[in-house]
Structure 1
Amino acid sequence: MKIKYLLLKMQLIGCLLITITFSSCKKDKTTAVVNATPVTIGLYEYASDVDKRLLVPITKIGMQTVNYGTIFDTGSPGMTMDATGILPASMITSAGITVTGDSTVVNGITVTSKTSTISFGDATGTTTEYGNLAYANVTVGNSLGSLELKRVPFFLYYKIKDSKGTTYPAHSADVFGVGTGTSSTNTNISSPLKSYSYGTGLTSGFKLATLSSTSFLGTPTYVSNLLTVGLTSADLSSAGFIMHPLLPKYSYNPYIEGTLTYNNKTIDAVFLFDTGTPSVSTIEDKLAVAAVSLPTNTTVTLKTNQGFTYTYVTSNTGNLTQVANPNTTQDYRSIFSLDFFIKNEYLTNYASRIIGLKNN
């Protein structure tokens, strides 16, 4: 996730927990295999001016009932949560989280003594979270549908600040990172959806339906049936997705090679389609003289090495796009913001390390 933070402390109201379980039946003292079915839940859309957010409601961590909206992020692997309201206040100090020995268990949450930081951004500016590796069962969703994730490894932070020294309020940037790969901070941390019990007949992964352009409002708006957890054979073969095997040279992160065309020139590119970026897409062009925003009504076309093509036109209210030089940002990825997901479906197959893209 390479973002300007849209600071949030979302209190999602009226959550009734529904744990999704699958059962098997017995016949003649043998266990019959029952194929599991995917679970589809809604997410919340939110906007502040041109900045947009897609939020996952989290209603339980360990045995602690909570009520937070976390940023649904295809651009990073792993969940990060502020410790405030999750751990007792006595455990949280300005210097860190107090842990006795190798780990401490509080309200069903295992907090380890392994400390680190997680940073988002590039060489022009970063935002950093400071905290500890933790483990807990996590319930996501609301009364209209939810799922329980078992023993999720996540980053529990006590402080977040940017490279200018600004410290942000608690829960300003809780992240639900569903990207492939593992966290650069700790290889134990990866997508929390990998901690879901998929059952027989499903492939580990998810589909994200196209977002509702009319639901990005000034208050979080629930949109049903956006996220499907668990992939079927039809999803992987005949649902119209163009599949992109991920590459070991990028550590199997969700980076896809292709070309970009804008201002009558075509350049090679490495794409990241990132729901964690709220508004401004970034084209990394090594011939760019300085960072510049593309004018309104500029046409941009991207084409992946597997033949997926998408064209959009910039405006002053959406598809905002800047051009930067990777020698300045120290980031070679061209990153496309949440606006991309209003027109395109997105699939991640964790088992085979594949990203699927589909025009809609």
Structure 2
Amino acid sequence: MNIRFHILLSAGLLLLFASCKKTEVNSSATTSSNSAVKLGLYEADSSIYKLLFIPVPKIGTQTVNEYLIFDTGSGGMVIDAHEVLPASMITSSGFNFTGDSTVVNGITITNQTSSITYGADNSTTEKVYGNLAYANVTVGDHGNTVTIQRLPFFLYYKGVDNAGNMLSTGSFDIFGVNTEYDVTFSNGGYVASPFSTYTPAAGLTKGFKMEALGTSNFSLAGTYVPDVITLGLSATDLNESGFTQHTLTPVSGYGYSVIIPSSYTYGSKTVNTAYAVFDTGTEPYSYMEDNTASTTPTLLPVNTAVSVTTKSAGFNYNYSITSSDYLTYIENPIASGSDISIISLEYFLKNGYMLDYENHRLGLRNY
């Protein structure tokens, strides 16, 4: 099972990131040995939609200029092989090597193959094909970096849309951080959040918290904002009263689901049984599922009030739709192909998020 999520990419925006230069790269966390690691994100805005990028300056033995979409809607690093391997190794049907595995540029590529499907609904399905790979991966920028040893990730050799058309290089470079596995393989291997693979300093719990992003730092070129992510949770973090904690449900062979049983209202309509994902990888729309709605997706009008309440813990998230923000579609699961509602990146503008990988909890916070 893979949580569905919708990523809207701008070729122009990605080109801006590809042209960026590193100002400083460090091979280990710059914080002290008994403290959490602070990481920054690039906050980008094409004027149509917003995106978060996390910098990855090194994969294996090679320095790269990679900016991956920071995504709470999936679990695992997914990267296009054309950006890290010689072109001679890559074909439209797979990688050129024999045996169980090979090592290129410090990247171990295994013969374990799979695919990942993305999309907000049946009409937007896109798929990437690739192999399980391992490498030491450095994450971060401006001196705030951490190196994750032998990180398992999905190295894809091609991507296609739902009509079979080839996607452009790097279209689905993702840094998925949730507690589900992006993909599993026949040998028992799997791709999970890079943050869950990282072992923090003694006394800290595996996990991260994310501060509210605000709205002032988003720009076309992407503004680097330090210390958005705290990697490694202290006892104070875990017991912070501002976060409402939700115990996550295990899914056999696929980690722990971040799908939260919820209810929601829009205008005067209440949907009592719903399932929600809080997803930085979805923008500019949220997608709310209602099995009594029309099979044609409906965009809610400006000034419609929307309220989402989680069932187990009673966390409440409210917003009102404007002409340019908090845009929301109402979909019928019969037409969309899923009963999972997606709460978009705009939740994160004014609210906090926490994942505790060890105790399998997800925290939500109103600021």
Q: Give the TM-score, by structure 1 length.
A: 0.93
Which of 18, 22, 26 is matched with 1:14 structurally?
22
Partner AA of 2:112 in structure 1: K
Aligned-residue offset at 1:112: 0.7
What SS class does the counterpart of residue 191 from structure 2 fall into?
A: coil
Which of 88, 91, 98 is matched with 2:89 structurally?
91
2:261 is aligned to 257
1:237 is aligned to 239
The alpha-carbon distance between structure 1 residues 307 and 168, as it changes in their structure 2 partners (threshold 3 A), is same
Partner AA of 1:284 in structure 2: E
Distance 1:22 1:291 in 2: 47
1:223 is aligned to 225
Runs of 4+ in 1 over 6 A off after TM superposition: none
Kept after mapping to 1: 8 A contact 2:297/2:329: yes
Aligned-residue offset at 1:97: 1.4
Distance 2:169 2:315 in 1: 40
Distance 1:118 1:36 in 2: 37
Kept after mapping to 1: 8 A contact 2:80/2:173: yes
Aligned-residue offset at 1:91: 0.5
1:294 is aligned to 300
1:309 is aligned to 316
Kept after mapping to 2: 8 A contact 1:276/1:337: yes
What SS class does the counterpart of residue 170 from structure 1 fall into?
A: coil
1:277 is aligned to 282
| Superposed counterparts of 1:160-179, under 5 Å | 160-179=159-178
* Structure 1 unpaired stretches of 5+: 24-33
Distance 1:348 1:240 in 2: 14
**Identity of matched residues, %:** 43
The number of residues matched between the two structures is 350
Partner AA of 1:58 in structure 2: V
Kept after mapping to 1: 8 A contact 2:183/2:190: no
1:199 aligns with 2:201: yes
The alpha-carbon distance between structure 1 residues 157 and 15, as it changes in their structure 2 partners (threshold 3 A), is farther
The alignment yields a C-alpha RMSD, in angstroms, of: 1.8
Q: Deviations over 1:225-251 (max 9, x none)?
A: 101100010111124100000123696
Which of 62, 65, 72 is matched with 2:63 structurally?
65
What SS class does the counterpart of residue 200 from structure 1 fall into?
A: coil
Partner AA of 1:84 in structure 2: H
| Superposed counterparts of 1:109-124, under 5 Å | 109-121=107-119, 122-124=121-123
Aligned-residue offset at 1:349: 0.4
Aligned-residue offset at 1:143: 2.4
Distance 1:213 1:144 in 2: 24
| Superposed counterparts of 1:170-189, under 5 Å | 170-186=169-185, 188-189=190-191
* Structure 2 unpaired stretches of 5+: none
Partner AA of 1:96 in structure 2: G
1:248 is aligned to 250
Kept after mapping to 2: 8 A contact 1:22/1:36: no
Which of 209, 212, 219 is matched with 1:210 structurally?
212
Q: Deviations over 1:282-321 (max 9, x none)?
A: 0000101121100011100111120211110011211010
Kept after mapping to 2: 8 A contact 1:20/1:147: yes
Distance 2:197 2:274 in 1: 32
Partner AA of 2:141 in structure 1: N
Kept after mapping to 2: 8 A contact 1:279/1:319: yes
1:145 aligns with 2:144: yes
What SS class does the counterpart of residue 118 from structure 2 fall into?
A: strand
